[in-house]
Structure 1
Amino acid sequence: MGDKVDRVDPITKTLHLVYTITNIQHKVRVLDGVKVSYSSWVKLFMLHAKGYDVINHIDGSPAPSETTPEYSSWAKIDAVVLQWIYGTLTDDLLVWVLTDDSTAYEAWKRVKKLFLNNKGPRAATLQHELTNLTLAAMPSIEAYCQHIRDLVDQLAAVDCPVNDTQQILHLVHGLPREYDTIATILNQTLPAWEEAVEQLQSEARRIAAREHITPTPIVASAVNSPQPNTRDRQPSSHRNTQNSRSTNNQPRRDSRRTGRPTNHGPTGPHHPQYSWSNNRAPNDPQHLPYCNTLETAEIKF
Structure 2
Amino acid sequence: MNSILSNLLSLMPIIPPGIVFGACCFFLLKKPSAEAILMTIGSGISLIINILYSFLMPLIMAAQNLTPTEVMKYHTIVGVISFIAGLCFAAGLLILIINTVKRIRSSTINSLKAPIITMSKSQSGLRLCYIFLFTLSILQLACSPRPNIQGKGEDFMQGVWNEDSVAYSHKLSNYTQHHFKFTCDSVYINMVTHSKVNFYEDSCYNNGIWKEYAKGVYRVKGDTLFIGATFTHANYKQKISGCYRIGRYDKNFLISKKSSDSLILESLSDQREIKLTLKEKITCVPKEL
Higher strand share: 2
Bigger RCO (CA 8 Å, 6+ sep): 2
Structures share fold, TM-score greater than 0.5: no
Larger Rg: 1
Higher helix share: 1
TM-score band by shorter chain is under 0.3
Scaled by the length of structure 1, what TM-score is found? 0.22
